[in-house]
Structure 1
């Protein structure tokens, strides 16, 4: 039995796994999991990932969750080009440093912006207080500033001259607020130039394909069924408002 990857490309971590597998030519079967429809809570998916989150993989009788763990597993199993997860100790440490940091910084603030600007007002029909929006923008700005000053600096990519898993994880997270209508690249020439290098390294066709859904999310939100989120309304509001 071949590799199965369970994905919803509205999800940032799912996009990183998808792009990585496609770009490196790893053969896999795409298994769509609609997070909006709550398919991750179904009985069948729980057999793949009891954490009930996507992405997840099933490689024969081996199941694995969490995007970073999945990509490093695939990099080592399929011996992907060294730039993605370098063998060089210091370069790999740079990749791991970013991957360790991003969970509580770029990921949290970029994802929150998408919920505040799209999911909560347009799908759930709940007005977001302006002070909450302003605070979220400030937090995101702070993380992006740290990204440029600490992790990117004057290098073409996070770990040096070539794209790595760190850049891939970074770009999908930073594209999330763009999908909400907040162009974080507009006033940041260094970040914008890095985005263009990442897109070129991935390939424009694959990059655009993976982000097509999130970049049309504002329009798609008008037809989304907000009732599917009502079961999680209290939790969502507690998290974001």
Structure 2
């Protein structure tokens, strides 16, 4: 299999994309980046369905091999390149078993985060109505209950990251990027979760994560400008109620 034809189909606004981008940076694997714009429905095009039939972001094309799902992609990259790395230590069964358990729990975080981010913020960019305050609170309450569980896990393990004091694992990459999705748009806070606050700070200082954050910060500025100025002006110009 060719290792110099890796293409990553991605969008830095996607937390799952950032997980793969961070791991690629950590492993120093060269790749070509093909940006997919979900707001234009590019993930639903026929050519992309051939890359990822589930029509989700991210996906990769490695030679003739195509696949999606961020965690599966990261595992695949480590295993096929035969790399030794704390992000997915294939030579330590005990740690990988613990990571698998953590990753299963993070699925709950992903669902709760998605509800808050897309139904309470990104829906506006898709031309949909935002939920009333009581419904928004319901989504946030679910998210904070997940945060409570993660806070308890860190308290029990007494480690800086979920599996170690020294190195973040795959669950840290995935979890951190989900946290950033709602924190960056101002919909969630960590005031009542001090260990998670410390964990977020520690993850943000990891070079491979920080490098992706630079790209994310630039894109978030564009999104916030779009939401605050461009969309309202476009709606005003196309509104017929004042004609």
- For Structure 1 versus Structure 2, the TM-score category normalised by the shorter chain is 0.7 to 0.9
Give 1:140 deviation, angstroms: 0.7
* Residues 133-161 of structure 1: CA deviation (Å, up to 9, x unaligned): 11111101100110111356321111122
- Residue 99 in 1 paired to residue 103 in 2? yes
**Which of these residues, 11, 21, 31, is aligned with residue 24 of structure 2?**
21
**Which of these residues, 54, 64, 74, is aligned with residue 61 of structure 1?**
64
Aligned residue in 1 for 2:94: 90
**Which of these residues, 38, 48, 58, is aligned with residue 41 of structure 2?**
38
* Residues 183-240 of structure 1: CA deviation (Å, up to 9, x unaligned): 4234432111111111222357414224325643333324359x9xxxxxxxxxxxxx
Give 1:72 deviation, angstroms: 0.3
Aligned residue in 2 for 1:157: 161
**Which of these residues, 104, 113, 118, is aligned with residue 115 of structure 1?**
118
The answer as to whether partners of 1:4 and 1:59 remain within 8 angstroms in 2 is yes
The answer as to whether partners of 2:22 and 2:208 remain within 8 angstroms in 1 is no
SS in 2 for 1:171: helix
**Which of these residues, 173, 178, 200, is aligned with residue 168 of structure 1?**
173
Separation in 2 of the partners of 1:8 and 1:98?
A: 25
Separation in 2 of the partners of 1:184 and 1:102?
A: 18
The RMSD of aligned alpha carbons is 2.3
Larger radius of gyration: 2
The answer as to whether partners of 1:94 and 1:158 remain within 8 angstroms in 2 is no
Separation in 1 of the partners of 2:212 and 2:45?
A: 30
- Residue 193 in 1 paired to residue 198 in 2? yes
Separation in 2 of the partners of 1:175 and 1:40?
A: 22
- Residue 136 in 1 paired to residue 139 in 2? yes
| Greater mean deviation of Cα atoms: 135-144 or 45-54 | 45-54
The answer as to whether partners of 1:148 and 1:190 remain within 8 angstroms in 2 is yes
How high is the TM-score relative to the length of structure 2? 0.84
How high is the TM-score relative to the length of structure 1? 0.85
Separation in 1 of the partners of 2:212 and 2:6?
A: 22
**Which of these residues, 176, 185, 198, is aligned with residue 180 of structure 1?**
185
Separation in 1 of the partners of 2:190 and 2:82?
A: 33
SS in 2 for 1:180: coil
Give 1:172 deviation, angstroms: 0.3
The answer as to whether partners of 2:8 and 2:33 remain within 8 angstroms in 1 is yes
